[in-house]
Chains A and B, each alone.
Chain A
Amino acid sequence: MWDEKVIQMIIEGIGETMYMTLVPTFLGYVLGMPLGILLTVTDKDGIRPNAGIYKVLDFLSNIFRSIPFLILLILLIPLTRMIVGKSYGSNAMIVPLTIAAAPYIARMVESSLKEVDHGVIEAAQSMGANTMTIVFKVLLMEARTSLITNATIVTATILGYSAMAGTVGADGLGAIAVRYGYNRYQPDIMIVTVILLVLLVQIMQGIGMMLSRHFDRRRTR
């Protein structure tokens, strides 16, 4: 049964899994990064405290993060249909995956940016820096290693979600594992897909750590 067809299917599965991981992660950052910055800036110790904006964003991101992914996926089926035209397959999964990723990413970005030493922000303020300068030249630059490390964690999480989406009609390695391991009880194919998933996470982790170290100038040599 390890014929060409199965191997072909697994190779396609890797491609689909990567697609369902990287595209929602990217789109998630497009939405989540500004939210994370807003959460940092408008918090009460932030550079432009605004309790109203902070509370709304805080509430929304907590709501979305507390809905289990599979349930969110089902709840979003009408929206997914509207955007993609159908509710199954890798393209359709981009919608719920992005919407699950964005608030999670916003929180990750917020926690990275809040690690930046308050004294450095104050020094920038004392030089007459405006909010934009502080966000782009101080917060994001000083927090970059933490942002990259967290992006690695985010990517691995989204990969896990994409595999979960396999149970309800997505493609990718997760779907293969479910189809063969659960429905047809062919554990060997399931084990191979699981090993591949683990390898993917390992590779992304490795790349993330390498980048993060490459951009860190805080080491003594």
Chain B
Amino acid sequence: MEPIIKIVDLHKDFKQKDMDVHALKGVNLNIYKGDIYGIIGMSGAGKSTLVRCLNFLERPTGGSVFVDGRDLASLTEKQLREARKDIGMIFQHFNLLMQRNVVDNVCFPLEIAGMKKRDARKKAMEYLEIVGLSEKAKAYPAQLSGGQKQRVAIARVLASDPKILLCDEATSALDPQTTKSILQLLKEINQKYGITIVVITHEMAVVQEICSHVAIIDKGNLVEHGTVEEIFQAPKSREAKKLIYQGYEKVAEMKGKRCVRIVFHENSSFEPVIGNMVLAFKAPVNILYANTRDLDGVAKGEMILQLPEDLELGDKMITYLKNAKLSVEELEDYVG
């Protein structure tokens, strides 16, 4: 199958007076139809630059971007504007027209496409219904909460029937509860309309919540990519580990002692593994961190355990956990 987005050796340099910034240094990535692809990295890693190259808001200085098999660099201005109608984008700060009410904001891309005002309104109302904001149609953006604004932006982007949706930190300005509901909405959109979604974020939690795949970008390089399962269970690169462990910073006392990170996934045992292990070895372990959820009756998530000082006993425990089909990883090099 052809990828819907194919990124080949993508470079982007920003020329500035005193020095050049190499924001992207040869990124290669394939994104397939129906994926929810997370792109994660630290601040300044080049995430926004990468996603802005996918609709040529930013022109790459090297390499190519193919969308639906077409090289974006080969398009004329007019063709590019047409191509952009298939690539929706939502932003951290929503970017709604402040002087237009909600329904007219959703009509905007339809006006650009030349649709008649009445038809546009009708379609806009349908999409407001989908995002659950019909009763706010006549309100102005200044009267809405952040989450509501992002819903309007999502309705606006859906109205032009895109094949791809780019989200640059779309939930970073929202509180955790609202973030969850927006991510849920994106997931529904992905499932219902088969829209491929690219999600830029610096939070692993966002990736875990909705993404099927993830790429880790660091200082302009793509250091690791794969399914979220793979990367989450066994991160290989330093950067991936750092991002995955970023939630544990609260756990200060784990420094220097023997700790393991265990990951629960589909194949993991249903039994209460930790409890049984403590009973079997008659030795306590310390749960330093836990983030588990019940997904369709299966525990998913991760835990950090502090093992007893006794090396041999610790090794046995690790073997026990591995036998229970958990991913186990020692956290020697981790400094919080």
Please give the residue numbers on chain A whose beta carbons come within 8 Å of chain B beta carbons, in ascending order: 117, 119-120, 122-130, 133, 137-138, 141-142, 144, 215-221
When chains A and B are docked, how far (Å) is the Cα of A221 from the Cα of B166?
A: 32
When chains A and B are docked, how far (Å) is the Cα of A84 from the Cα of B160?
A: 54
- Closest partner residue, chain A, to B83 (CB atom): A128
When chains A and B are docked, how far (Å) is the Cα of A109 from the Cα of B160?
A: 32
Decide if A128 touches B142 in the complex (CB within 8 Å).
no
Interface residues in B, total, Cβ within 8 A: 30
B57 partner residues in chain A, CB cutoff 8 A: 122, 125-126
Decide if B142 touches A220 in the complex (CB within 8 Å).
yes
The reply on B143 being an interface residue by CB < 8 A is yes
Decide if B95 touches A120 in the complex (CB within 8 Å).
yes
New A-B contacts (20) at CB < 8 Å, excluding given A122-B95, A126-B57, A144-B99: A119-B93, A119-B95, A120-B95, A120-B96, A120-B98, A126-B55, A127-B112, A128-B82, A128-B84, A129-B81, A129-B112, A133-B111, A133-B112, A137-B111, A217-B100, A217-B101, A217-B142, A218-B99, A218-B140, A220-B142
B202, chain A: closest CB distance, angstroms: 18
The reply on B155 being an interface residue by CB < 8 A is no
Known contacts A119-B91, A217-B140: A127-B97 contact under CB 8 Å: no
Decide if B88 touches A141 in the complex (CB within 8 Å).
no
Complex partner residue of B95 from A123, A129, A219, CB under 8 angstroms: A123
Decide if A142 touches B88 in the complex (CB within 8 Å).
no
Decide if A120 touches B112 in the complex (CB within 8 Å).
no
When chains A and B are docked, how far (Å) is the Cα of A114 from the Cα of B264?
A: 52
A217 partner residues in chain B, CB cutoff 8 A: 98-101, 140, 142
Decide if B88 touches A128 in the complex (CB within 8 Å).
no
- Closest partner residue, chain B, to A219 (CB atom): B142
Decide if A141 touches B84 in the complex (CB within 8 Å).
no
- Closest partner residue, chain B, to A119 (CB atom): B95
B287, chain A: closest CB distance, angstroms: 43
Decide if B112 touches A128 in the complex (CB within 8 Å).
yes
B95, chain A: closest CB distance, angstroms: 4
B82 partner residues in chain A, CB cutoff 8 A: 128
When chains A and B are docked, how far (Å) is the Cα of A125 from the Cα of B112?
A: 10
B97 partner residues in chain A, CB cutoff 8 A: 120, 138, 141-142
